[in-house]
Amino acid sequence: MNWQSIVEQIEATGATFKLVNVRPLVGGDINSAYCLQGTDKSYFIKLNRADTIAMFAAEAAGLTELAATRTVRIPTPVVHGKSAEHAFLVLEYIEFSTSSKTSDRQFGQQLALLHQQCQPYYGWHRSNTIGSTPQPNARNNDWIEFWRIQRLQHQLQLAAAKGYGGHLQTMGAQLCEKLASFFDGYQPQPSLLHGDLWGGNAAMDKRGNPVMFDPACYYGDKEADLAMTELFGGFSQDFYAAYRDTCPLDQGYTTRKTLYNLYHILNHLNLFGGGYLRQAENMTDSLLSEIS
C-alpha cells in the first residue's frame, strides 16, 4: 500500500502530518482498517476497492449530518478519495474505553435526542450502503410505502437474484402487501437515523462519551434504529431505560421491531449467505402470524 498518497491528501486539507507508523486494526467484514500514526496526531483509515469510492462519500456525508446535530460524538471525516488501487476514507482517530452505567445512560439519552432531529420526508438526499449493499433512499411522504419498496422489496429482490426463492419470496410478498396492519394508529416522525446501529458501530471514548460510527443514514421511524440495537445485543438496560425516559415508545414497538430487523437479516442473507435464510423465513412467518 502506498500510504504516502493518502498522507498527501490529508495534507491537502491543510493539516501538517508526518507519518511514523501504520497499524492494522480489527475492522468489520466489509473494509480494511488502519491507524496512521504521526508524530503528534493519528488518523483512522478505511480501505476498499477503488470502485467503492461512492460508498465512502456517502458515509462521510452521513457522519457530517450526524455530527451537525451535536447530540452524540461522531468521528470527524477528514478526506475521502482514491489512491492507485484503493478507495479510502480518513477519519479522526478516537481511542475507545469501556462503558459504564453513566455512559450507557448518556448514550440512551443522546440517541433519543438524535431521533428528535426530523425532516418532512422519509429517506435522504442520497442513496448509501448498508454494509456493502446498496441502500436506496428516495424521498417519500409515506413511511409504509418507503419501508415496503426501498427496504423489504429491495432486499427480497436481491435475495431472489442470489437464488433464495420459494417460501421466503412467497411469504415476503404477503408481508409486503399487509404492512399497513403493523401501523394501525401509529404514524412515525421522519427522524434522523444512524441506520446500522448494532453494538459494533458504537463505543465510548476515554472520557466516557458515547461515540457512533459506520452509519447508513436516512430519515425514518426511530424504532428502526432502536430495533437494531436489540438484534445482536451489546446495549445495556441502562441505555434502554434512559432512551425511554427521554423518548417513550409506542406499545406496537414490540412487534414492529421484528419487522425492522427483518431488513437487516435479509441484508445479512445477501451479504453472507444461506446461514441467515431460516432466520429470515422464521421472522417473516412470525410477523404474518401477528396479523392472520
Helix (H, G, I), strand (E, B) or coil at 232: coil
Catalytic, 245? Answer no
Q: Are 232 and 199 contacting, i.e. CB atoms less than 8 angstroms apart?
A: yes
The CB density around residue 124, as the number of other CB atoms within 10 Å, is 26
Cell 429482490 maps to which residue? 157
**223-238 burial, b for 16+ CB within 10 Å, e for fewer?**
bbbbbbbebeeebbeb
Cα angle vertex 169, ends 166, 170, to 5°? 80
Which of these is catalytic: 29, 51, 196, 225? 196
Which residues, at least 6 apart from 164, have a Cβ–Cβ distance to it below 8 Å?
Answer: 269, 274, 277
The CB density around residue 8, as the number of other CB atoms within 10 Å, is 12
Annotated catalytic residues are 196
